[in-house]
A = this chain, B = another copy of it.
Amino acid sequence: MSKPLRIGMIGYGFMGRAHSNAYNRVANFFKLEHTPVLQAVCARDEEKAKAFAETWGYKSIETDWRKLIARDDIDAVDICTPNNLHKEIAIAAAQAGKMILCEKPLAMNVAEGEEMCAAVEKAGVANIVWYNYRRIPAVTFAKQLIDEGKLGRIFHYRANFLQDWTISADLPQGGQGLWRLDSAAAGSGVTGDLLAHCIDTALWLNGGISDVTAMTETFIKERKHTLTGKMEKVTIDDACSFLCHFQNGSLGLFESTRYARGHKALYTLEINGEFGSIKWDLHDLHRLQWFDYRDAGNLRGWSSIHVTDGDHPYMNKWWVPGLAIGYEHSFVHQVADFCESLSTGKPAGPTFRDSLETQKVCDAVLKSAAEHNWQKV
């Protein structure tokens, strides 16, 4: 007998669609005790809320997120707003006893994140952050291989997140579609938007980061602001890279930018261990590159594993070997695991607490870049 998990979604942008799709689909493919129900969506603009509700099948709408949180018929709040609203909403939701599924990054900074962690932990509510790339099957599979010891001692971790969509100087900053370019709404530029993904995965796969030395750049210094109509100084980072030491003694190299012409959303990671290495990238997300030093010498090579078999993570839920799934499925998997965690009582990561660690690295990176020195995390 299925138990409804009544979702109240705040926000209706790109992530609102991705999450709604995940809630809608999960029960078609996963056998779960808890089943998401699209109870309400909240947006300041009533017309937009209605249209979104109709498209996705939400039963009701709200235009004030406080009202949504106050409703008795909501079990879980999904926060899809710009970053500067995460803290306030999350704390209020926790206080109202709601479970929380919060978009990444967790917060504008570590201080906010700590308040949020305190709130959910005090309230004892289930909480998770939408670092969805952990649940691309190839990435989850990488985690399995590492946990099985297939790589041995780790020497190197490398991750990039390369985009090219803000190169034009004519692109404005701020407003509904472009709040990611406005530091008031986003907190930072690529650091919180892109690097945070890389860091979340890295901490999960390779453990904690000790210290960092970083460099940021803003290539276009002024852009017209959508809300004011005036040219204003751009205060986000267009590019950010850093070197680091992991606690396990391995070396890290991270880079993100929105000025890497030719790359749409190229999240790429590589791990080099004593016995094997792993590579993956988001543009061919269904493949894991695997090098096994323990193969016979003359047969060693990078193997391109098409991660679509029934014995690959999550893949026995979908189609048959060779038939790929896509980006959106990582959200379905996150919902499935979150629902599963409600049955088992074992939290599905990354929790707020897990994501606070990512936030700490982000803050250290930005501080290092500002102060031109190494920073402890």
Q: Which residues of A contact B (CB under 8 A)?
A: 14, 18, 20-21, 24-25, 27-28, 55-57, 141, 155-156, 158, 162-165, 167, 213-215, 217, 219, 239, 241-243, 245, 249, 251, 253, 255, 257, 259-266, 272-277, 282-286, 288, 290-293, 295, 297-306, 308-309, 311-312, 318-329, 372-374
A150, closest chain B residue (CB): B299
A241 to B157 Cα, complex, angstroms: 12
Given the interface pairs A322-B266, A325-B326, the reply to whether A257 lies near B155 with Cβ below 8 Å is yes
CB pair A253–B253 under 8 Å, yes or no, is yes
B residues less than 8 Å from A304 (CB atoms) = 301-304
Residue of B239, B285, B290, B320 near A14 (CB, 8 A) is B320
B residues less than 8 Å from A155 (CB atoms) = 167, 219, 239, 257, 259-261
| Distance in Å: Cβ of A297 to nearest Cβ of chain B | 6
Most buried by B among A277, A295, A327: A327
Question: How many identical chains are in the complex?
Answer: 4
A103 to B285 Cα, complex, angstroms: 29
The DSSP consensus for interface residues of chain A is mixed
A319, closest chain B residue (CB): B327
CB pair A251–B239 under 8 Å, yes or no, is yes
A-B contact pairs, 14 of them (CB 8 A): A27-B55, A155-B219, A155-B260, A158-B255, A219-B249, A241-B243, A262-B272, A263-B322, A264-B306, A284-B284, A286-B324, A304-B304, A319-B327, A323-B327
A270, closest chain B residue (CB): B260
